[in-house]
Structures are given as C-alpha cells and as structure tokens.
C-alpha cells in the first residue's frame, strides 16, 4: 500500500467517525435535544423514549465521535454538545434531508396538517420587529432550556405554565412563539391557547439551533450573548 493510499484511508476513517454519530435515528434525536442545552442521561432517556442503558450506549457513540462531552455532577452524568459547530452541522443535515427526502414533508404534513399560522411572518422581518419591540417573542420551552440559550428579547413562559401566566403576555401586538424547532409541537399548542384568548399569535418554526446557524444573537444566562 502506498503512503498516498494510507493517508486517504486514514482521513476517511476519521470522517466516518463523525458520520457514525449521525447514523442512528435516536442519536439524531439526542443531538436535537442537546442543541437545547445540557441534559443528564436520565433526562435524555425520558425525552427520547429510551431506557437509560440504551441512551447511554448512544451517548457513548456520540462521545467517541467527539460530538458530545460529559461531566459528572454529583450522582449524575450531564452531557452537552462539544461546541456550537455540532449544532450547526445538525441543522445542516436536517435541512439537507428536508430538501432531498420527500418522505419528511409527507410525514410532517400528515402529523401537523395545514400547520395554520406556522410561519406567517418572515423570520428575518420578525427579528427586526422583535428588536424594535413591535413583536412579543415567546419561548415556551422548559425554563432550563431557556436559561441554556434563547433568542435575545424573548419572554420565557413554559407551555405548562402559559394558561396561568397569560397576564404576562402583552396584548395589542403580535405574539410569536417558538420551541425546539420544526418537529416540536409546544409552540403549536401555545398558539392555540393564545388564539383562544384573543391574541394574534403565530408560530416560529425555527428553534435555538436554527437561530445560531443564522447568526442571530442567542443569550445564555451563564455566558451572556453569543453571536
């Protein structure tokens, strides 16, 4: 074997390590969840519908590919993305799949139906209007996800608390709700609640991973703004 061939084989072997991390449906879901913020193995297992043993196995593959990192915190092990580049690659893979695989559109349409009001306002225009204070942006994810990273200016009201905290949502202007991304239903449920109470509400289809990929400012309570 020539040195040229050995070099090529070695490089592509390492590239395949990264690809392996994205090669299982549940690992993709775990990466999507970790785009929202750090999680323990137990929390990830519950959210992804896995046993703790299976979640740990998938996380070991992701760690071997250097896509995630882990840290012992007391009795638990917490996982996080290795860096924001992993989040950007996840979004790129998702968008490539959406553009190339008609099955994704079909499954999404069957589940969400017409997705009324999902993207009534163009995202870039929404950001400009939100920064001017003309639109109330509502983050309806759990509080720990909001604290890990959220769109600048967003108001945190988790979906489970929305009905009890409606008086915190300003009336008289558009409310735009977002959650974890295009396959999350929390923002849809929030919009239903808001519209039933007379708000002019719409969904933002993107989530924090998309905001980062677009270069929007994402705030973290621990670290401050992150461009």
- Sign of the dihedral defined by the CA atoms of residues 113, 91, 58, 222, in that order: negative
pLDDT digits (tens, 9 = 90+) for 162-210: 999 999 999 988 999 999 998 999 999 999 999 999 999 988 888 999 9
Residues 166 and 155 sit within 8 Å (Cβ to Cβ): no
pLDDT digits (tens, 9 = 90+) for 13-25: 999 999 999 999 9
- Most confident range (mean pLDDT) of 159-163, 201-205, 211-215, 222-226 is 159-163
The answer to which of 36-50, 110-124, 191-205 has the lowest mean pLDDT is: 110-124
Residue 222 banded pLDDT, cuts 50, 70, 90: low
Give the distance from CA 205 to its chain's centroid. 11
Beta bridge partners of 137: 176
pLDDT digits (tens, 9 = 90+) for 59-75: 999 999 999 999 998 88
Identify the active-site residue in 35, 179, 184, 203.
179
pLDDT of residue 152: 86
Q: In this structure, how many other beta carbons lie within 10 angstroms of the beta carbon of residue 214?
A: 14
What's the CATH fold of domain 111-226? Answer: Oxidized Rhodanese; domain 1 (3.40.250)
SS3 assignment, position 12: helix
Find, among 143, 45, 28, the residue nearest to 97 by Cα. 28
Within the chain, strands assigned E span 39-40, 68-73, 76-81, 135-139, 150-151, 155-156, 174-178, 201-203, 218-220, 224-226
2 exposure class (CB count in 10 Å sphere: 0-12, 13-18, 19+): exposed
Q: In this structure, how many other beta carbons lie within 10 angstroms of the beta carbon of residue 225?
A: 9
Residues 151 and 170 sit within 8 Å (Cβ to Cβ): no
Average pLDDT for 9-15: 95
Residues of the chain with CATH 3.40.250.10: 111-226
pLDDT of residue 227: 41
pLDDT of residue 203: 87
Reply yes or no on whether the pLDDT at 211 is more than 60: yes
pLDDT digits (tens, 9 = 90+) for 122-174: 567 776 777 677 899 999 999 999 999 999 889 999 999 999 999 999 998 89
pLDDT digits (tens, 9 = 90+) for 73-110: 888 999 999 999 999 999 999 999 999 999 998 888 88
Does the active-site annotation cover 203?
no
Which class would CATH give 3-82?
mainly alpha
pLDDT of residue 5: 92
pLDDT of residue 121: 54
pLDDT of residue 112: 75
Residues of the chain with CATH 1.10.10.10: 3-82
């Amino acid at each position: 074997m020539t040195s040229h061939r050995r070099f090529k084989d070695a490089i592509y072997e390492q590239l395949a390590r990264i690809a392996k991390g994205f090669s299982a449906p549940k690992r993709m879901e775990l990466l999507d969840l970790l785009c929202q913020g750090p999680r323990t193995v137990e929390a990830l297992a519950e959210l992804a519908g896995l046993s703790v043993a299976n979640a740990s196995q998938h996380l070991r593959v992701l760690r071997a590919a250097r896509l995630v990192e882990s840290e012992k915190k007391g009795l638990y092990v917490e996982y996080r993305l290795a860096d924001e580049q992993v989040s950007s690659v996840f979004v790129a893979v998702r968008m490539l799949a959406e553009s190339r695989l008609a099955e994704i559109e079909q499954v999404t349409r069957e589940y969400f139906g017409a997705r009324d009001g999902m993207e009534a306002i163009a995202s870039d225009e929404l950001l400009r209007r939100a920064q001017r204070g003309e639109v109330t942006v509502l983050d309806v994810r759990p509080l720990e996800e909001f604290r890990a990273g959220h769109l600048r200016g967003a108001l945190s009201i988790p979906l489970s608390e929305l009905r009890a905290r409606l008086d915190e949502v300003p009336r008289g202007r558009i409310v735009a709700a977002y959650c974890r991304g295009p396959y999350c239903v929390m923002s849809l449920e929030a919009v239903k609640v808001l519209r039933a109470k007379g708000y002019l509400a719409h969904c933002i289809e993107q989530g924090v991973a998309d905001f980062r990929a677009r270069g929007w400012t994402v705030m973290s309570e621990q670290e401050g703004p992150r461009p």
